[in-house]
């Protein structure tokens, strides 16, 4: 089944324009989804939209409201919201190019695939994409998605373009308030040395298929047990991981030479193609 685009419009670099479609690059969640069930009847519960004064009301009769003060709303219809037309509603206009390392990882948000919309668009799309590739930089543009104008970071990926929404400065919390209570005392050099050797033992290439949702897999096993009429086994509580003697714990970790978990073939097959890798970036100083 072909993917449905999240957005359709035009990509523009100065005077060069072509029709494009934007597709989500990741899936929204796992395979386990729950419904609310009444255990007395085994019926699925229906959520009824209700006005506290007049009772149930059809969703088609509702409008959106913005609260300006307690209990006071400015009401907006879908038509009124759609009447706000920025150029970025239908055009991804590339505004500037920046080195990828200049964008702090905190700002990278959701990934999308950008592709030409139709055969007539492929030549102009190819010109823009190839020029971007040769520049070796990230293109920044704007787009309106779900009633919000977002910054887009664009870079070539395969035959198409990978697009990331970029968080605004107002969306990113400053680390100073969170890290303020961390001690300035220097860690023990011998302990650091052992920790570095532990890290070296665990080095390896990034393979997203090795990382599966173990909690979801456990939920599936639980569901299967109950479906077969078995009483699920009680899971023991995890051991207390509070470290009393840090040096002893480090030396024991170094001696164990623990290897990364073996690849789960069944689970990784399901997860293949569902993980997009963000462009390589460098943390801000």
Which tens digit of pLDDT belongs to each residue from 193-215? Answer: 999 998 888 888 888 888 887 88
Q: Is position 211 within any domain?
A: no
Q: Is position 67 within any domain?
A: no
pLDDT at 98: 95
Give the residue with greater pLDDT, 88 vs 64. Answer: 64
Q: Is position 231 within any domain?
A: no
> Which residue range forms the structural domain that includes residue 94?
7-30+83-171
Percentage of residues in the chain with pLDDT exceeding 70? 86
277 pLDDT more than 50: no
Q: CA 17, 20, 26 angle in degrees (round to 5)?
A: 145
Which tens digit of pLDDT belongs to each residue from 129-139? Answer: 999 999 999 99
pLDDT at 269: 39
Give the residue with greater pLDDT, 259 vs 23. Answer: 23
Q: Is position 99 within any domain?
A: yes
Which tens digit of pLDDT belongs to each residue from 157-192? Answer: 999 999 999 999 999 999 998 999 999 999 999 999
Q: Is position 183 within any domain?
A: no
> Would you state the structure tokens that stand for residue 148, as one six-digit string?
């919000």
Q: Is position 25 within any domain?
A: yes
pTM given for the model? 0.70
pLDDT at 45: 92
Structural domain count, the chain: 1
Q: Is position 62 within any domain?
A: no
Domain of 15, CATH number, reads 2.40.290.10
Helices (H) and strands (E) in the chain, counts: 7, 14
Residues 33-61 have a mean pLDDT of 91
Q: Is position 44 within any domain?
A: no
pLDDT at 2: 61
256-262: long-range contacts at Cβ-Cβ below 8 A with a sequence spacing of 24 or more? Answer: 257/201, 258/201, 258/202, 260/202, 260/204, 260/210, 261/210
Query: Which of 86-90, 105-109, 121-125 comes out lowest in average pLDDT?
Result: 86-90
Residues 52-65 have a mean pLDDT of 91
């Amino acid at each position: 089944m072909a993917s449905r685009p999240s957005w359709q419009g035009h990509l523009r670099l100065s005077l060069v324009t072509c029709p494009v479609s934007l597709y989500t690059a990741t899936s929204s969640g796992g395979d386990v989804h729950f419904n609310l069930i009444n255990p007395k009847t085994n019926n699925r519960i229906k959520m009824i939209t209700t006005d506290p004064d007049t009772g149930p009301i059809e969703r088609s009769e509702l409008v959106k409201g913005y609260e300006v003060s307690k209990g006071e709303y400015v009401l907006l219809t879908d038509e009124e919201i759609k009447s706000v037309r920025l150029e970025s509603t239908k055009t991804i206009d590339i505004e500037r190019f920046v080195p990828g390392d200049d964008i702090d990882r905190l700002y990278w948000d959701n990934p999308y695939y950008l592709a030409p919309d139709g055969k007539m668009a492929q030549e102009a799309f190819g010109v823009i994409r190839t020029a971007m590739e040769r520049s070796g930089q990230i293109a920044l543009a704007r787009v309106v998605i779900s009633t919000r104008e977002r910054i887009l970071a664009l870079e070539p990926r395969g035959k198409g373009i990978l697009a990331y929404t970029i968080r605004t400065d107002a969306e990113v919390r400053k680390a100073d308030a969170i890290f303020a209570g961390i001690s300035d005392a220097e860690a023990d050099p011998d302990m650091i040395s052992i920790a570095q050797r532990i890290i070296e033992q665990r080095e390896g290439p990034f393979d997203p298929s090795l990382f599966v949702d173990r909690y979801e897999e456990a939920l599936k096993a639980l569901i299967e047990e109950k479906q077969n009429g078995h009483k699920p086994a009680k899971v023991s509580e995890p051991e207390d991981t509070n470290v009393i003697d840090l040096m002893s714990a480090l030396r024991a970790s170094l001696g164990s030479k623990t290897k990364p978990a073996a690849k789960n073939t069944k689970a990784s097959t399901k997860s293949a193609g569902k993980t997009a890798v963000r462009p390589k970036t460098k943390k801000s100083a």
